[in-house]
Structure 1
Amino acid sequence: MNRLNVYNYTFQNLQEKEMTFDDVFTRIKRFMQRDPKGDYRLIVGTDSQVHCHYVRFITGIVIYREHKGAWACIRKNIVNRKMENLHERISYETSLTEEVVSMFTEERKETLINIVLPHIYQGSKFTMEGHIDIGAGERNKTRAFVNEMVNRIESMGIEPKIKPESFVASSYANRYTK
């Protein structure tokens, strides 16, 4: 029986390596505190790439301030087998996204909401999204899994996004899967 072996529970970006989730949360909080009147989207999404003997999964975390920049990082996971079954791979991508989303506990989400709360009448906002690297288009092989994966993300209390709106999974995370 093949087991899924997950490695590397640390996060990184171009400036920093070996960040813990507490480090990531601190960076997100600081980013939001610089402009508490911003319109913020906290986005988590995962993409994967099958290589010769393994599959590389990249989960991206992005705090996006509408029209004013972003801070982002990734977490790498390797599964030491090909994992050619598309449903299994998409489901595992969604599981990794769910895992990172679950790290944003109610207390942590409340901390981030409290940054923007005093400014909501000036347009300040905070939302959370789960980006899934699937599409509903006729030619998309993943369309059969859209309802299942969207329901999983919705059940976590965050807004699911699929292609073409799932840019954290299909663009940001994707560039690190190669």
Structure 2
Amino acid sequence: MKPISFQNITYSQMNFEQVFSHITSFMKDDPLGNYKLMLGTDSQIHTDHTRFITGIVIHRVGKGAWACFHKEIIPRKMRVLHERISYETTLTEEVASLFTKDKMDQLIEIILPNIYQNASFTVEGHIDIGSGERNKTRAYVNEMVGRIESLGFEPKIKPHSITASGYANKYTK
């Protein structure tokens, strides 16, 4: 897999090791916190390409967050909804694969001494789809949720998929 570059409003070029360092620093600032590591992708069709944004958000519940994203451009309009939703999920899976067992263990080690003081750490995969009757993506919910579950992540769909439908969406425009 080729190296993936990330950015946010502070940093224009980060490799995954730098991203991971920011996440661990953020968590070490308050090892008593309740943390959610959330990954998700959204896309937007433009005139001659489709832009995909995959977000990584570490949320200290009630006390802020640190986030970054990876941008990928496909040089064509991806009009087939299933193809686009499936590719969004694939990009989320690719970023999730960077969080190896060793990396996850390092994050858990930060809060582990404090779990009896209610510190917590959960990992979520956010999918920009919904199950509502009027939602065109509802036909793909079971498939995409299954893919996220197979990673060991807790899947979240609209309206709870804020990393995909909120944070990543902001940068697809």
The two structures share one fold, judged by TM-score above 0.5: yes
Instruction: Spell out the pairing of 1:1-16 with structure 2 (5 A cutoff).
Output: 9-16=4-11
Cα deviation per residue 1:139-169 (whole Å; 9 max; x = unaligned)? Answer: 0000000000000000000100000000000
- Cα shift at 1:17: 1.1
Within a 5 Å distance, the mapping from 1:136-155 to structure 2 comes to 136-155=131-150
2:83 is the counterpart of 1:88: yes
Q: CA deviation at 1:9?
A: 2.4
Q: Give the paired residue count.
A: 172
The question of whether the paired residues in 1 share the 8 Å contact of 2:3 and 2:15 is answered with no
The correspondence for 1:128, drawn from 123, 134, 139, is 123
The runs of 5 or more residues in structure 2 that have no matched partner are none
Aligned position for 2:153: 158
**For the residues of structure 1 that align with 2:24 and 2:4, how far apart are their CA atoms?**
20
State the Cα distance separating 1:8 from its structure 2 match. 8.3
Q: Find out whether 1:44 has 2:39 as its counterpart.
A: yes
Q: Deviations over 1:52-110 (max 9, x none)?
A: 11000000000000100000001000001111000000000000000001100000000
Q: 2:107 aligns with which of 112, 115, 118?
A: 112
Under a length normalisation based on structure 1, what TM-score does the superposition of the two structures give? 0.95
Cα distance in 2, alignment partners of residues 81 and 174 from structure 1: 19
Give the conservation status (yes or no) of the 8 Å contact 1:8–1:77: no
Give the aligned partner of residue 3 of structure 1. Answer: none
Moved over 6 A (4+): none
**Structure 1: stretches of 5+ with no match in the other structure:** 1-6
Report the secondary structure of 2:13's partner residue: coil
Identity of aligned residues (%): 63
Pick the aligned partner of 1:169 from 158, 164, 167: 164
CA root-mean-square deviation: 1.0
* Equivalent residue letter for 2:82: H
